[in-house]
Amino acid sequence: MSALTGLELRSTITAGGELRLELEEVTVPDPGPDEVVIQVEAAPINPSDLGLLIGPADLSTMHGSGTPDRPVITAEVPTKRLAAVAARLDQSLAVGNEGAGTVVAAGVNATHLLGKQVGAMGLAMYAEYCVVPASGCSVLPDGATAADGAAMFVNPLTALSMIETMRSEGHTAIVHTAAASTLGQMLLRVCLADGIDLVAIVRSPEQVALLREAGATHVLDSTAEDFDEALADAITTTGATIAFDAIGGGTLAGQILHAMEVGINRRGDGTYSRYGSDAKKQVYIYGGLDLGPTVLTRTFGMSWSCGGWLLMPFLAAAGPQVEQRLRQRVVDELTTLFASDYAHRITLTEALQPEVLAKYVRKQTGEKYLIVPPG
Amino acid sequence: MSALTGLELRSTITAGGELRLELEEVTVPDPGPDEVVIQVEAAPINPSDLGLLIGPADLSTMHGSGTPDRPVITAEVPTKRLAAVAARLDQSLAVGNEGAGTVVAAGVNATHLLGKQVGAMGLAMYAEYCVVPASGCSVLPDGATAADGAAMFVNPLTALSMIETMRSEGHTAIVHTAAASTLGQMLLRVCLADGIDLVAIVRSPEQVALLREAGATHVLDSTAEDFDEALADAITTTGATIAFDAIGGGTLAGQILHAMEVGINRRGDGTYSRYGSDAKKQVYIYGGLDLGPTVLTRTFGMSWSCGGWLLMPFLAAAGPQVEQRLRQRVVDELTTLFASDYAHRITLTEALQPEVLAKYVRKQTGEKYLIVPPG
């Protein structure tokens, strides 16, 4: 098995303020006893990948170079943004949180996976080969393709973990922002399947229509004039007291907490005092579509919390049994509830063409990209 | 025991936008089987009382009337502020969270308290008499006066509950804002006694001097130019990852979270990733000295939380055994760690003189007021 080599997409930000993306030919290490080597056949470009891929670079300065087989993209990173990425400076980092492919080599304890198509969260899957722990692989169900299994971790487990969090913290309905995202549509499908009320907040009438067509009952356009009133009404109807917010910046988190307080008081849940209702109101910020400050106008009593939420710490805290249960559900319903649609399939070399990169960094609804190695 | 009557201070905000403070002669109900009647001898004016007492009234419109024995204060409440107090409109509310006095009547199950001097959280203790559950009374230790026991609940239990919260959530040191307050000085004494590192944030050089004299090691003036750097240094030294913030509005909570992130990374606690450190950073807002928006510039990763914190919900969640342990400690150290100093003692009628009220609402450090009924 030695001497297997393959291309890997690498991202470097230099202390001098340059982002450099390139393909590197690497020797694939032999798998350890509990590891496998996956020949990657499909890896999605998720918003969570873009943070590592391009960092805080100014893409208006993007420049393509290299050769057709080994394209290189460079761009400037403004000096004042370097402090935020101090821990990664001058390191060549592999990219690609998740993907799917065929197991082409396996350690002694993982031979049962040889030749199987699996999905995995390999963290370096924008590559021809990726070494991962066998325990991190999910064997694809019969009939599923690598494209079907490429995104079976980040979005599906996030949607299911949001619901787990809701239940474990005693809430019964969810508010979700940027709800027309791939994740948002998936969360909607799971909520519909599981009978959980969802209040979906989007940012355009088109996105409202999209989610209504997908079966959503409570869809609100945060740019509408009557948004606050409509949000309070939807929260009153559903009793939602937990929100997952992908936006982060601005006043939205506080508006949601305020609408929850209105809803709780209208429903007569909780006990009113001059400190506000005693029912717990929670907003979890799990993304940063708006990197500006979170502005909370505290009109929602004292029983509230706003904080960060991430999938991996949640799963680590929930424990392996919960993670296994959620992963099994994803396998069981991979091509239904957890299906992902890709508008574009690109190779590793195409991913490093400036005009292609300029498109996939836009993260537009309905414009999802799948990387299909080899280069 | 029937026909016992006494004066009670009452606060009413009308739907028409008028605050009215007056003394009402009420008939004291007979105590239930598990209740006692306390003849109130001392009740402190805490910041937490003022919220109920004056609400959001505009005190520049304050007007005194009535008679010397039955003074009345009125003031306008701006219309736009009425929504925030909708739940209390047109109700005559008793005031005074805590106090101390002598048990003058007791139900059949509480006769052991008859004649005893007790402190209690009676919630209506700006009065000559107050009926409270026997279980809510703490008998004062030998030699302690009613003034010693008047404030044995809100501040002492808050200080101890902050430490309980710190421990139960896995933190080892505390950041406290508005730290020169009566509560802040008490928290400092407990932290010094218990060997807990405290980072005290105040708003003037005089308050820095005050706390240093009281033995504080880490005292920072948030108005100083090098505040952010000094805060990061103090948090690096102490490892504090939980803060209790009495201010609420502005950028301070976010500055503290940022300094915690810097401290964690400098200490090498937690694991760094592009999502920031994985060590949990918590700010609890327990007051509202600045009622403006809380502005969080999210430069502290994803493992953070900012939320409301109140004594009563904490104690309810902690359970009766914890509450009893904390109350016993207050009794044991009432005149040492938990001593309160009063600069002014006023009667119920004096409390309703506009020039007196104008002083005690200022909540100035070192200018604490004690109400000593009768009227």
CB contact under 8 A, A298 and B293: yes
Contact B184, B200 (CB under 8 A): yes
pLDDT above 70 for B34: yes
Of B250, B313, B121, B124, give the one whose Cα is nearest residue A302.
B313
Return the pLDDT at B110.
97
CA dist A310 and A248 (Å) reads 13
Contact criterion met (CB < 8 Å) for A294 and B296: yes
Residue B267 lies in a domain: yes
pLDDT at A83: 80
Question: Does residue B329 fall inside a structural domain?
Answer: no
Check whether B1 has a pLDDT greater than 60: no
Query: Residue B228 to residues A189, B201, B325: CA-CA distances in angstroms?
Result: 46, 11, 37
Residue of A nearest to B285 (CA): A302
**Are B180 and B59 in the same domain?**
no
- Count CB-CB contacts under 10 A for residue B286: 23
Determine contact, residues A306/B254, Cβ cutoff 8 Å.
no
Do residues A269 and A239 touch, judged by C-beta distance below 8 A? yes
**What pLDDT is attached to residue B88?**
86
Assess whether A21 and A147 both reside in one domain.
yes
Q: Which of B125, B195, B197 is nearest to B154 (CA)?
A: B125
Quote the ipTM score: 0.89
Cβ pair B264, B271 in contact under 8 A: no
Residue A233 belongs to a domain with what CATH number?
Answer: 3.40.50.720
Q: Residue B242: what pLDDT? A: 98
- What is the per-residue pLDDT for B303? 95
- Please check the confidence at residue A157 and state whether its pLDDT lies above 70: yes
Predicted confidence (pLDDT) at residue A340 exceeds the cutoff of 80: yes
* Predicted confidence (pLDDT) per residue in B61-108, tens digit: 999 999 999 999 999 999 988 887 888 899 999 999 999 999 999 999
Kindly tell me if the per-residue pLDDT of B28 is higher than 70.
yes
State yes or no: pLDDT of B2 exceeds 60.
Answer: no
CB A89 within 8 A of CB A20: no
B189 located within any domain? yes
Q: Where are the alpha helices (DSSP H) in chain A?
A: 47-54, 146-149, 154-168, 182-194, 205-213, 227-238, 252-267, 311-318, 320-332, 348-351, 354-360
User: B166 and B106 share a domain?
Assistant: no
β-pairing, A197-202 vs A173-177, is parallel
Look at residue B223 and tell me whether its pLDDT is greater than 60.
yes
Same domain for A142 and A34, yes or no, is: yes
Q: Which of A276, A296, A314 is the last residue of a domain?
A: A314
Comparing alpha-carbon positions, the chain A residue that sits nearest to B255 is A293
- Within-domain flag for B335: no
Report the distance separating Cα B304 and Cα B283, nearest Å. 8
Return the pLDDT at A270. Answer: 66
DSSP reduced 3-state for A136: helix
Interface contact flag, A296 B293, Cβ < 8 Å: yes
Number of domains in chain A: 2
pLDDT tens across B318-375, in order?
999 999 999 999 999 999 999 988 999 999 999 999 999 999 998 777 788 999 997 6
Question: How distant is the Cα of A268 from the closest Cα of chain B, in angstroms?
Answer: 12
The closest CB to that of A293, out of B248, B296, B310, belongs to B296
User: Mean pLDDT throughout A223-232?
Assistant: 97
Nearest by CB to residue B51, choosing from A274, A278, A310, is A274
Handedness of CA A26, A31, A35, A38 (dihedral sign): positive
pLDDT in tens, A174-221: 999 999 998 999 999 999 999 999 999 999 999 999 999 999 999 999
Judgement on whether residues A122 and A17 belong to the same structural domain of the protein: yes
Q: What separation in angstroms does the CA of B76 have from each of A77, A340, A363, B35?
A: 55, 59, 52, 38
- Report phi then psi at B3, rounded to 5: 70, 10
Among B64, B144, B253, which Cα is nearest to A306's? B253
Q: What is the pTM of this model?
A: 0.91
Q: Please give the average per-residue pLDDT across B168-193, as a whole number.
A: 96
Do B183 and B98 share a structural domain? no
B91 CB within 8 Å of a chain A CB: no
Q: What is the CATH number of the domain that holds A28?
A: 3.90.180.10
Instruction: Tell me whether B310 touches chain A (CB under 8 Å).
Output: yes
Contact status of B277 with chain A (Cβ, < 8 Å): no
Q: What is the rounded CA–CA span in Å between residue B350 and residue B45?
A: 13
Residue A1 confidence (pLDDT) above 60? no
Over residues A345-353, the mean pLDDT reads 97
Q: What is the pLDDT of residue B48?
A: 84
Residue B292 lies in a domain: yes
Please give the residue range of the domain that contains residue A186. 155-314
Residues of chain B numbered 252-271 and touching chain A (CB < 8 Å): 254, 265
Query: In this model, does residue A375 exceed pLDDT 70?
Result: no
Which parts of B30-97 fold into alpha helices (H)? 47-54, 79-82
| Percent residues over pLDDT 90 in chain B | 87
Q: Is B320 domain-assigned?
A: no
Are residues A190 and A310 located together in one domain of the fold? yes
As a whole number of angstroms, the distance between CA B351 and CA A252 comes to: 42
Give the burial string for B245-268 (b: 16+ CB within 10 Å, else e). bbbbbbebbbbbbbbbbbbbbeee
A291 has a pLDDT exceeding 50: yes
Which domain-ending residue is among B267, B299, B314? B314
| Confidence (pLDDT) at B332 | 97
Average pLDDT over residues B158-186: 97
pLDDT at A115 over 90: yes
Tokens of A333: 């319903």
CA pair distance B361, A31, nearest whole angstrom: 71
Q: In chain A, pLDDT over 90 holds for what percent of residues?
A: 87
Q: Quick one: which of A278, A282, A274 has its CA closest to A306?
A: A282
Residue A332: inside a domain, yes or no? no
Strand A137-139 and strand A173-177: the pairing is unpaired
Are both A291 and A310 inside the same structural domain?
yes
* Contact A317/B at CB under 8 A: no
Q: Does A234 lie in the same domain as A112? A: no
Cβ–Cβ contact A302 with B under 8 A: yes
Q: B81 touching A, CB under 8 A?
A: no
Query: Per-residue pLDDT for A171 more than 50?
Result: yes
What residues are paired with B119 via a beta bridge?
Answer: B100, B138
Together in a domain, B223 and B274: yes
pLDDT classification of B272: cutoffs 50, 70, 90: low
| Mutation for testing the A interface, residue in B302, B306, B310 having most A CBs under 10 Å | B302
Burial label for B88, CB within 10 Å (0-12, 13-18, 19+), is: middle
Identify whether A327 is part of a domain: no
Does B153 lie at the interface with A, CB-CB under 8 angstroms? no
Considering only alpha carbons, which residue of chain A is nearest residue B266?
Answer: A87
Select the more confidently predicted residue: B135 or B47.
B135
* B235, B359: one domain: no
Question: Which helix (H) or strand (E) is B348 found in, with range?
Answer: helix B348-351
Query: In the prediction, which pLDDT does B366 show?
Result: 75
Q: Is A80 on the interface with B (CB under 8 A)?
A: no
Minimal C-alpha gap between A101 and chain B (Å):
26
A308 and A205 together in one domain:
yes
Residue B301 predicted with pLDDT over 60 = yes
Mutation target for B interface from A274, A311, A315: give the one with most B CBs within 10 A. Answer: A274
In this predicted model, what pLDDT tens digit does every residue of A73-109 receive, in sequence order?
999 999 988 887 888 899 999 999 999 999 999 999 9
Residue that finishes a domain, picked among B296, B314, B332: B314
Q: Which pLDDT band holds residue B270 (cuts at 50, 70, 90)?
A: low
